[in-house]
Chains A and B, each alone.
Chain A
Amino acid sequence: MSSPREGHKLLEVRDLRVHFPTEDGVVKAVDGSSFALDRGETLGVVGESGSGKSITFLTVMGLINRSSARISGSVLFEGEEIIDASAARLRDIRGKRIGMIFQDPMTSLHPMHRVGDQIAEVVLTHTGASKKEAARLAVESLAEVGMPSPETRARQYPHEFSGGMRQRAMIAMALVLKPSLLIADEPTTALDVTIQAQILELIDELKEKFNIGVVLVSHSLATIADVSQDVMVMYAGRPAELGARDQVFQDAQHPYTWGLLESVPRPDVRVERLIPIDGQPPSLITLPPGCAFSPRCRHVRPECTAAVPELRDRGSGHLDACIIEPDEKTRLREERLAALEAGA
């Protein structure tokens, strides 16, 4: 396996755009997304349905059908540009150097194949290992993700597994070849709350153990809060805010992030009630002019609709795409929190 050259991020995405031409117009699912990730880091990606978070990472994996989408920008994986890589090249990367797990472990495993065989298939596809060796690695990988009696489990079918166990099996499949990047697309959304914490803990453990980069996609800030080093908040196909976890949680700069934070209960802020964000996510075909969040924003001003706001660094790598000046935002944020605590 090629080791990343000095100075290269594990994954660096620049100005990624994924547009789907349809009969009704062009759906701008991802419209200028930039971020980076290193080994040993977890990037939490948060956004509503349709914010482009899943499409972004399906594109990184090369799982978007290029005949139905217009893809532009840059995806550097371990220093290698893969946005225009051949199908064969991408197949070589998928499963071997990037593992991916999905939202619903109930439907993500093949119902007609034994779990062990499904994991071993990754090994057989990417290495010259014998069937016996592949089966051994599959059992080993199941043991690695905390599967009790992995030999027996490997011979079973997915329907004999609980939801949490299936997601563990998916993780075992994604990590069997020790890839450098794990993309987890809403890995806990379909699971019981108690199991959610276990799965997140497991992903965090494995990240430390194998020194891999993890992308944790979720629609909930609460899910990613504990395990992410960096957080990206996406809105309408673009990053609204991007920074270290504490920057985003303690010193949020984008009104959309404020809305997200106010709509989930937090132990450190006593509030009388949770505040939903007004309105619906915009249509990705006819985005509002300027800032896509402006129609739902409580602090909207005329300048907001003039031009699409660029991501700007507020210092120390904390970026946001809101044109309001930081001092004024601090004031607005304090007002909102005061209003919340007063039970407005």
Chain B
Amino acid sequence: MGRYIIRRLLWTVFIVLLASILTFLIFFVLPAGDPALRFAGKQPTEELIAQARVNLGLDKSLPQQYWLFLSRLIGGDEYGWPGLGYSFHTRDAVLPELIDRSRVTGSIIVGGALMWMVIGVPVGVISALKRKTFWDRGLMGICLFFISAPVFWLALLSLLIFWKHLGWLPGTGYVPFAQNPGQWFAHLILPWCILALLYAAIYARLVRANMIDVVSEDYIRTAWAKGLSPRKVVMHHELRPALAPIIALFAIDLGALVGGTIVTETVFNMQGLGNWLLIAANNNDLPVTMAVTVVVAAAVCILTLIADVLLAIIDPRVRLQ
């Protein structure tokens, strides 16, 4: 297992490099405008633009520029390690902002993911066990609603109700946990719910489908033949095989959300990674784009590695190689 993990980590490095190269190339291939032009001020002269180009390193060849990016990333720069340079757009250092924004996005995703698993798995299990009853149809109907409802609409509606009309919540924005844990929680509860409802609905349907497959397996008939109680049959025999396929999906979803909670962040006015990536893409901000890409690629790789290891622990038929 140890050798497998090391090999997968090396593979992760490779994937991250590949993703960064692709992002780098796409940035220059797409006719998005010259970052130096923007950098040179309101009334740029030829000299100012040329100077800006030199300052930003854009005068060098593409391989040279990429090599510079890579050597700073690995060796660090004046802002620390890993070296990510400064934003073309705001001229602020990327690294400290990346850390701040990772905390915001991390808070949203981890809380939301916990919530959607806690809601989605039991709803799926109950629906499967009460198949074709009022409960099953009702729960699946609700799921369909949350899958179909646009996230921005749900988010705005919930803000209107819980913030403006009921006044239960303190409003939008993000309060760091270290500054005030209570406010951190109060500001995050709504984004968590919005994120969780969509995914809980998707996961409930998946868990239900898996459970329905599992309950007709021969080994479940064996479990009944052993005289086990219904609770034991579900908890000890049905749940594990029904949830095993969910783990891999959970890892991928979680990784994708690292750069993908754009709508939630925007509506709730939270300065997270998704939001940042959107701004960077709109402003030809290469260093920020590269930084977020590296983080997302690494997150997806490491989370799927964890999922694969977990799956091998849960299902003895899975061999890591």
Contacts and interface: CB of A to CB of B under 8 A. Distances in A.
Interface string B218-258: 11011111111100100011001100100000000000000
Nearest to B232: A125
Contacts of A121: 226, 228, 236
A91 interface: yes
A94 interface: yes
Given A125-B232, A157-B316, A157-B317, A111 B219 contact: yes
A107 interface: yes
A95 B241 contact: no
Interface in B199-229: 217-219, 221-229
Interface of B, helix, strand, loop or mixed by DSSP: helix
A93 B219 contact: no
A122 B227 contact: yes
B227 A96 contact: yes
Given A92-B227, A122-B227, A111 B222 contact: no
A63 B216 CA distance: 12
A108 B315 contact: no
Interface bracket on B: 20 to 34
A266 interface: no
Contacts of B317: 111-112, 157, 159
A63 B221 CA distance: 8
A175 to B, nearest CB: 12
A174 B226 CA distance: 8
Contacts of B218: 102, 104, 107-108
A109 B218 CA distance: 8
Interface in A92-141: 92-96, 99-100, 102, 104, 107-113, 121-122, 125-126
B99 interface: no
Interface centre among A91, A92, A126 (most CB of B within 10 A): A91
A61 interface: yes
B316 A93 contact: no
A232 interface: no
Interface string A37-73: 0000000000000000000000001010000000000
Given A63-B221, A108-B219, A173 B226 contact: yes
B227 A111 contact: no
A108 B241 CA distance: 14
Interface residues of A, number: 29
A159 B226 contact: no
A112 B229 CA distance: 19
Nearest to B228: A125
A109 B226 contact: no
A155 to B, nearest CB: 11
A156 to B, nearest CB: 9
Interface string B70-109: 0000000000000000000000000000000000000000
Interface in A252-292: none
A148 to B, nearest CB: 21
Contacts of B244: 112
Contacts of A94: 224-227
A68 B299 CA distance: 48
Contacts of B222: 102, 108-110, 170, 173
Contacts of B224: 63, 94
Contacts of A96: 227
B227 A112 contact: no
Contacts of B228: 91, 95, 121, 125
B314 interface: yes
A100 B314 contact: no
A137 B221 CA distance: 23
Nearest to A92: B227
Given A125-B232, A157-B317, A108 B221 contact: yes
Given A95-B227, A96-B227, A121-B228, A112 B241 contact: yes
A66 to B, nearest CB: 13
Contacts of B227: 90-96, 122, 125-126
Contacts of B229: 91, 125
28 contacts: A61-B225, A63-B221, A63-B225, A91-B227, A91-B229, A94-B226, A94-B227, A100-B225, A102-B225, A104-B218, A107-B219, A108-B221, A109-B222, A110-B222, A110-B223, A111-B317, A112-B240, A112-B241, A112-B316, A121-B226, A121-B228, A122-B227, A125-B226, A125-B227, A125-B232, A159-B316, A173-B222, A173-B226
Given A94-B224, A95-B228, A170-B222, 16 more contacts: A94-B225, A95-B226, A102-B222, A102-B225, A108-B218, A109-B219, A110-B219, A110-B222, A110-B223, A112-B244, A112-B317, A121-B228, A125-B226, A125-B232, A126-B227, A157-B316
**Which 9 A-B pairs have CB atoms at the shortest separation, nearest pair first?**
A95-B227, A94-B227, A107-B218, A95-B226, A157-B316, A100-B225, A110-B219, A91-B227, A108-B218
Interface of B: 217-219, 221-229, 232, 236-237, 240-241, 244, 314-317
